[in-house]
């Protein structure tokens, strides 16, 4: 047994000495501190729930350690993940984000900003609301707007339950009537931007504009040459 321990004792001694020197080199090397902006990932969002508050998509991190280790640390390899799996509706606070940071041993996180994040989850709901056409400008002289029709008359909005409660209608982009002298139809995009809601399927509607003659309009008299008569 002793003979086996003494075999290649010189090589073993050299290896031990090299390891000790390397350890002292790494541990005794000048320590630095670097700052990185790294992505904050939200994963495993439960089905039928939606993120319903403003959350940061990145954090500022300061990391200290030996120069050699820091120089080999690539910002693209660092991230923090917030796991939303099995969370119920409501607000959940995730604290001590630095514990989720994947960095090599020998390095130390000295600061994370923000150091925590509050996540609000809400149930996804749907709601049908009417579409209101936005008409701009005035028809040509002698014509008035009689009515307009929108097809489809209602569309479905989906998203965070609390936001849906405040939505009673959606509107189209402007349909210009300036100088129009006859009824017409026009495809118009629905102008809608929600914070935590969106249009489900239909993004455009058909707007039918019906004009009628203005009963109070009398065209100006003209001469035989077509010029208006001055009175």
Looking at the fold, whether 101 and 177 belong to one and the same domain comes out as no
Q: Which residues fall within 8 angstroms of residue 24, CB to CB, at 6 or more apart?
A: none
Same structural domain, 105 and 172: no
Examine the domain organization and report whether 109 and 181 are in the same domain: no
Cβ proximity of 91 and 119 under 8 Å: yes
pTM score, whole prediction: 0.71
Going by C-alpha positions, the residue among 107, 109, 122, 104 that lies closest to residue 59 is 109
- CATH number reported for the structural domain that contains residue 97 in this entry: 2.170.120.30
- Answer positive or negative: Cα dihedral of 37, 81, 43, 88: negative
Q: Is 65 exposed, middle or buried (0-12, 13-18, 19+ CB in 10 A)?
A: buried
Enter the DSSP assignment of 228.
Answer: B
Q: How far apart are CA 89 and CA 52, in angstroms?
A: 10
Domain residues for the domain of 100 are 32-115
pLDDT at 218: 85
Q: Splitting the chain (231 residues) into consecutive groups of 10 residues, what average pLDDT does each group show?
A: 54 65 57 86 94 94 85 79 94 89 83 93 97 96 96 97 96 97 97 96 96 89 59 51
């Amino acid at each position: 047994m002793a003979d086996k321990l003494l075999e290649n004792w010189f090589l073993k001694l050299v290896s031990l000495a090299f390891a000790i020197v390397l350890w002292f080199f790494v541990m005794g090397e000048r320590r630095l501190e670097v700052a990185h902006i790294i992505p904050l990932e939200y994963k495993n969002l439960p089905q039928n729930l939606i993120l319903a508050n403003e959350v940061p998509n990145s954090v500022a991190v300061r990391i200290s350690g030996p120069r050699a280790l820091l120089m080999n640390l690539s910002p693209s390899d660092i991230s923090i993940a917030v796991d939303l799996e099995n969370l119920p509706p409501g607000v959940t606070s995730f604290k001590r984000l630095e514990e989720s940071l994947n960095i090599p041993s020998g390095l130390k996180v000295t600061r994370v900003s923000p150091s925590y994040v509050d996540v609000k989850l809400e149930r996804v709901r749907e709601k049908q609301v009417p579409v209101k056409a936005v008409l701009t400008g005035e028809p040509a002289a002698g014509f008035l707007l009689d009515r307009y029709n929108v097809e489809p008359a209602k569309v479905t909005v989906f998203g965070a339950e609390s936001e849906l409660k405040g939505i009673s209608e959606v509107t189209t982009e402007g349909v210009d009537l300036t100088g129009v002298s006859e009824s017409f139809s026009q495809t118009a995009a629905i102008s809608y931007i929600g914070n935590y809601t969106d249009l489900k399927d239909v993004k455009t509607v058909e707007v039918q504009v019906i004009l009628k003659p203005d009963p109070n309009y009398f065209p100006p008299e003209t001469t035989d040459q077509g010029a208006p008569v001055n009175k």
